[in-house]
Every structure is written in C-alpha cells, then in structure tokens.
Amino acid sequence: MVPIRSVLVKPSVLHHICRVQSLATMKPSVYVTRPDVPSIGIDLLKEKCNVETWSQNSAPPHEELVKNIAGKDAVFCNIADKIDKNVLDAAGPNLKVVATMSVGFEHIDVQEAKKRGIKVGYTPDVLTYAVAELTVGILLATSRRLFEAHREIFNGGWKSWAPSWMCGPSIKGKTIGIVGFGRIGQETARLLKGFGVKQFLYSGRRDHPEASDIGAVRMPVEEMLPQCDFVICALAMSPETKHYFNEKLFNLMKPSAIFVNTSRGGVVDQDALIEALEKKKIWGAGLDVMTPEPIPPNHRLLKLPNCVVIPHIGSAGIESRNDMAELTARNILTALEGKPMPAELNL
C-alpha cells in the first residue's frame, strides 16, 4: 500500500489561493437571453463576468426569465424579451444594467428602471446601414414583384416570356416619401439616390439639416402622401406613433403607391393596411415588421398577393449583428464599472 502523504501549504500560498477563489466568486453575473449571440459580445463579457445563458434559440418564457434573472448584476436581452416590473422585481437590488441588442427599447419598462437607478443600454447607429439596405431591398422586391414571380416558377404560372407579365413600377423618376427622417430614413434616401429618384419628400416634427445634402423637402404628411409613388415608414415606436398609419393616411395615398415598413409593426393599423391592399387603395406593401411577431402562417396578411412579408430581419447583416453584440457587451461592462456607457438610453 502506498502511504498517503500530507501536503503542507505555506500560509502565504494558501492566502493567495483563497484570494483568487474569492475574486472569482466576486465577478459580476450577467444573464444572456440567447445562446446564439455573436461570440464577440459573449467573449468580452466572459473576460470580466460570470455569464449564464438561456439554452434555447427562442425567447425564454416569462416565468423562466423571472427565475433566471434573480440576483444578476446585468441582463443582455433583445426586443423579444419583455423586461417589465415583474422581471425587475425578481432581479432584486443587484441589477445595475439592462442592455438590449436592439435600437428599439419598447420591450423595457424604462420608467420602472429609472425609479430603481438601473441603467439601460441600446444599440443605435451600428444597425443603420443594414436596415437601410434591407429597406431598399424590400422596396425592390415589392415593386418588381420578386416573391410573386418566384412562386410562379413552382405553381406552373411561368409559361413563356410575355410583354406585360409580372411588370411592376420602377423607382427611376418617381417621388419617394419618408415618414421618420432619422438615421435610418436618411441612410435609406442616400442609398436610393443612385436609382434616379425624381424627388425625396419627408415628414417629421422638425427640419433636418442633412436633408439639403440629400435633396429632401419637408412637408406635412397629409400634403406629402398624395404626391408619393413610394412611402417608406421609418418611425420609432412610441405611444404617439402607435397606429400612425391608419385608414385616413392610406386613403390619402395614390392607388399606384407602394408602402414599405421596416420600423415597427405597431406604427401601422394593420387592419387598415389589409383593407387598403384588398380594395386596391394602394398598389402594394413590403413589410419587415408586423403584429404579432412571429405572424401565424395562416394570417390574412400572408394571403395577399400584393404584399411582401419578411420576418423582421432588418439588422441581420453579419457585420451589423457582430457590432450590436459588441456594443451591448460594452454597455454592460462600462455600466458595471461605473463608467459612461457608449450607448446609454437617457431616462
């Protein structure tokens, strides 16, 4: 039998080991609501934090979010996660920051966060180009009937070349109106300039100096809509903009107009939009956002041949999502260190 030897550890070494273990347990804890967050963000967090992640590639059920956020110092979330009073109560006094990997923040009870001194971070700017790029893409897909034409290949509708088959309006020489002329609205206009647009109009609460460089003219929305061949909605979601596009505004548009929304589904009265499409009050619509999300496969909106619907992928450029993940992580780290966040929502 091999004798068992006692290992004597010097008090100084033992103290060092205990101190290292203590420091490890003192790391702030972060709850991440998705396992498929780009690694650049998660790796940054793991350098200084203990990271716990929801295991499934879907939003955690509310009861799971309430359970898993308990005692955490920070939460890394997105627009599908409702961070309400119940969640903040469950988190307890340790929670210092809620950081969302999105430019929208309507899923967070910001007033409740403010009461508790919890900072809120978001990701403006880094997704601007990706959303503007997709806005141009869905505008083209709608006007040139790309999805509709693609379906014809499989259902036998493609018989031969025909002079008027699958024709749609071109962008060249047309008037484009943008409602909500912030970062994304402006970038969309810049990208569309190369298509030979006749005129850009925009509506909003104030003049934008950038409009002169783009060649855009501001006017009230009621005066703008009857002039537009394409109407792009780039409004932020707020109580004031809920159902901003309603029956009245759709009735002001040309029967040949195309409506595009890549902002938030809630800014549109969806029943009014469906009626406008069904009754041919407008020519067509392209939507990256709708209500609810995800939309049921048998939804009335999806049965309309003059409506292009895609599943809220506006910011889904690889580079954009990497930048969003990194910015969300940096928002968390700086907040936990008591430093100014790179993108803090002013509460």
The residues with which 176 forms a beta bridge, in sequence order, are 200, 230
Neighbours of 13 (CB within 10 A): 10
Q: State the Cα–Cα distance between residues 105 and 236, nearest whole angstrom.
A: 10
Alpha helices (H) in the chain, listed in sequence order: 11-25, 39-48, 62-68, 85-91, 110-115, 128-143, 146-155, 183-192, 210-214, 221-224, 247-252, 270-278, 318-336
Could you give the CA distance from residue 347 to residue 4 in angstroms, rounded to a whole number?
63
Distance CA 221, CA 228 (A): 10
With tokens 């009857």, the residue in question is 226
Q: By C-alpha distance, which of 51, 38, 65 is closest to 123?
A: 38
Q: Which of 95, 78, 84, 88 is nearest to 30 (CA)?
A: 95
Active site residue 312: yes
- Rounded to a whole number of angstroms, the distance between the first and last alpha carbons of the chain is 70
**Count of other CB atoms within 10 angstroms of residue 283:** 21
Of 62, 150, 243, 312, which residue is the catalytic one? 312
**β-sheet bridge partners, residue 230:** 176, 258
Collapsing DSSP states into helix, strand and coil, what is residue 279? coil
Give the catalytic positions in this structure. Answer: 312
